[in-house]
Amino acid sequence: MLLMLSAVHCGRTLTQLREQGTLDLPRLSLRRAERVIRRAWKTRHDNVRRHQRQQMKAHAARVVGAMRVAESRQYDNPEEALIRMANLLAMVAHRYAEGRTLQLLDEEQMAGAESVADRSWLRLAVSGLLIVGVLVVLSWADIPEMATGPVVALIITAVLAGVYRGRIPGYHDLIDIFRGADRR
């Protein structure tokens, strides 16, 4: 559903481009669709053998790379880029619905696209280390007990907002990170 909503958003942005021109055109981001593509194989196939899992992860990384190539062309030729992004998203959504997670896009559609590594585990580790480090420093400081709770909550929120750049991971993201780490 999220993939199709992203394709619809591309269509609406294309309509806005044709009506108003490129002056006030917002840049369209496909980050939410990338998360769906990365976990497509986990969602559609519960028990996957190790070699198949590696193939599916590699294919998803190339599909994300193709999406990023299409997304990066918004400044060169926005109309063509939006049409390409909408077509890619619709094809990925269709093949995902069919359960073809190892064929989300064809080779010619991914031509020139490099694999994009998934570094969500790194963000989780960095945020965890920063929070633990700040809590250790906070325990050495002379802060009244009444202020400790709000200060800790503020620090945790600030660290997560800084590491995730305003996008705090949801429980689905955390479960995917842990499921991926569990299967290695």
- Does some domain include residue 108? no
Note whether 12 and 81 are same-domain residues: yes
Q: What CA–CA distance (Å, rounded) separates 121 from 127? A: 10
* Total domains, the chain: 2
Note whether 88 and 126 are same-domain residues: no
What domain range is 165 assigned to? 120-182
- Does some domain include residue 55? yes
Q: What CA–CA distance (Å, rounded) separates 39 from 34? A: 9
Which pLDDT value is given to residue 109? 78
CB atoms within 10 A of CB 167: 14
- Does some domain include residue 41? yes
Note whether 131 and 94 are same-domain residues: no
Of 69, 51, 177, nearest in space to 119 by CA: 177
Note whether 35 and 91 are same-domain residues: yes
Which pLDDT value is given to residue 178? 57
pLDDT tens, per residue, the chain with 184 residues: 888 888 888 888 888 888 887 777 777 888 888 888 887 776 666 666 767 777 888 888 888 888 888 888 888 888 888 888 999 999 888 888 888 877 788 888 777 777 777 777 787 888 889 888 888 888 888 888 788 888 888 888 777 777 766 555 565 655 655 555 444 4
Note whether 81 and 129 are same-domain residues: no
**Most distant pair of Cα atoms in the chain: their distance:** 63
